[in-house]
Copies of this chain bind each other. A is one copy, B any other.
């Protein structure tokens, strides 16, 4: 695992989140423009947030595309602590997103990867130059109600 120093006295999971946010701002500016920010990132767990302001739809609730964006990006962010993005990259193959209820507030999205899966990713990348993994994301509003869930299939691949 690559470990960022806790720059400026930040907890390591916040420092790592800021690192991936800087990468996203430069590499996928549209994602950054949504206001999507990773707020916690550690091996096997990521949390991101996105504001309602600037992301409303025709009903005044959060636009479906913004909810998709904050869900989808978790899959890439999750492998950031494990793979050097100068040598490897993540890509998405498929996403299913289900919208449970309207999102009336800022939204938090969370996903995890278990240690067995992470170990398999290392093995598959070492032997085949690529590894596939599935990420389930849960999106909640400010009161903790689930507004959407997603399941994405991703790959991490050597450049």
Contacts and interface: CB of A to CB of B under 8 A. Distances in A.
A63 B93 contact: no
Given A64-B72, A65-B72, A72-B65, A27 B57 contact: yes
Interface residues of A, number: 33
Interface of A: 23, 27-31, 33-34, 54-59, 63-66, 68-69, 72-73, 85, 89, 91-99
- Copies of this protein in the assembly total 2
Q: Is the interface of A mostly helix, strand, loop or mixed?
A: mixed
Nearest to A26: B58
Contacts of A27: 57-58
13 contacts: A23-B58, A27-B57, A28-B58, A30-B34, A30-B54, A30-B55, A58-B85, A64-B92, A91-B99, A93-B99, A94-B98, A94-B99, A95-B96
